[in-house]
Structure 1
Amino acid sequence: MKTLKYITLFAAISTSLLFVQCKDDDDNVIIQETCTDGIMNGEETGVDCGGPDCEPCGLVLDFSGTYVQEDQMGRPGINTVFGTDGFKDAFNVTVPSQMQAAFQEKFETKLLGLNPGYTSNALGLDAPTFTTVLSNDVLWLAQSGITTYFNGTEILTGRALSDDVIDVSLLLIFGGPMGDENPGLTSDGVPTNDVAFSSSFPYLAGPF
């Protein structure tokens, strides 16, 4: 009889990635159990644990504990720009349904502090309307049509990997109604990735 204990490092990493915005206070993600030929937890499994099909034995996910939200990132960079006046952490732990009431006025104050001459932007949104959209930090996704953060016509219908979301945000904050105001402030000067996106899932570029 062979007894194997699986130290499931990769399973723990995979599970933690699924809950990137959460924290389990007891940090117990995996229960490691002993798997003996054909028997697991005292019950017959029909699996020969000395063979290639034994691998599932002992892999038990533990979802008990208390989970709390630690981060919020519907649209990249929003909290980085607007949450700098002492409420960044509060914003991160607020659920989207409560964000507008809690943060819209703070966002508007920050917007007008960044751009005192703000009237409207390339989307035609005045300061209260624009900050209402921004303070509800979720990434909208159209069920049909083009997926784009902003391509000059479609707006916030999702996010393609190649979308320059920082430039779009700067344009909407500083560019004015026609997008031609404050040209030195409407781009971060980084036009593309250093590394090409992958052609297979998950499509993200590799480390550089």
Structure 2
Amino acid sequence: MRNLRPWAAAALAALALAACRDTDRSPLAPNEPSFATSSSAIYDQVEFLGNPLVSEVTIQKANHDLYNRTQPYNTATFAPQTGAFVTGVAGRPQAYANTIASVLYPDMLVVDTSKPGSTAGWLSWALANGYGGRKLTDDVVDIALIAVFSDLLSPVGASCSPGQLPLCTDNVGANDRAFSPTFPYLATPNS
């Protein structure tokens, strides 16, 4: 009986892994490559997060799976949904929505290494002629809320001033734990 336990555990693990495979996936977006390795193994991209909050907030929920398996340059398909969020939910003019979408697409973190590293920050490449990228300390939720709802970039249709409730801050000032001085630099998780 003891000799069967490892085999039974292995069989259950294999069955569980097979059951986790999502075989009922929607087709890939047009011109979307499938990623293969030299060993002929094919991997499915199951999540795509370039700029924070773009997919989670501005893309229609029904399109999240397609968005998560697309490429950053699929602007024509998804930028209009982001624009519709900015005009419909935030109540901003179409021209403002177009500006926000042009900054968020293609949906990838942009880093301009010709700029001083001290100017690094999410969206700084577009909004402040900075380095770009994203520092661990960047409050990307507040930055996104400020960009969409505040009067920082335009007063037309703005709901609040930067950092002010109800829509221009998540009211969370900082991490509750300090970042580590060594790689991977993230704070220790709460337990």
TM-score by length of 1: 0.60
Give the Cα–Cα distance (whole angstroms) in 1 for the partners of residues 133 and 53 of structure 2: 15
Asked if 2 retains the 8 angstrom alpha-carbon contact of 1:100 and 1:132, the reply is: no
Distance 2:136 2:106 in 1: 22
**Counterpart amino acid of residue 112 in structure 1:** T
Q: Which residue of 1 aligns with 2:179?
A: 197
Please give the alpha-carbon distance, in whole angstroms, between the structure 2 residues aligned to 1:185 and 1:155: 26
**Residue 65 (structure 1) shift:** 1.7
Deviation at 1:72, TM superposition (A): 0.5
Q: Which residue of structure 2 lines up, in the alignment, with residue 105 of structure 1?
A: 80
Contact 2:47–2:68 at 8 Å: present in 1 too? yes
Matches within 5 A, 1:1-208: 63-97=39-73, 99-116=74-91, 118-119=92-93, 126-143=96-113, 144-145=115-116, 146-150=119-123, 153-154=128-129, 157-176=132-151, 177=153, 181-182=159-160, 183=164, 184-208=166-190
Q: Distance in 1 between matches of 2:168 and 2:102?
A: 21
Where in structure 1 do 4 or more consecutive aligned residues deviate above 3 Å?
Answer: 150-156, 178-181
Alpha-carbon RMSD: 2.7
**For the Cα contact (< 8 Å) 2:120–2:134, is it kept in 1?**
yes
**Secondary structure at 2:189 match in 1:** coil
Q: SS of 2:44's equivalent?
A: strand
Deviation at 1:64, TM superposition (A): 4.2
Q: Give the TM-score of the pair, scaled to structure 2.
A: 0.65
The code of the aligned residue for 1:191 comes to G
- Tell me the CA shift for residue 173 of structure 1: 0.6
How far the C-alpha of 1:136 sits from its partner, in A, is 2.1
How far residue 163 of structure 1 moved from its aligned partner, in angstroms, is 0.5
Greater strand proportion: 1
Gaps of at least 5 residues in structure 2 are 1-20, 24-37
Does the CA contact (< 8 Å) of 1:107 and 1:135 recur in 2? no
Q: Structure 1 residues 204 and 156 mapped into 2: Cα distance closer, same or farther (>3 Å)? A: same
Unaligned runs of 5+ in 1: 1-22, 26-61
The total of aligned residue pairs comes to 143
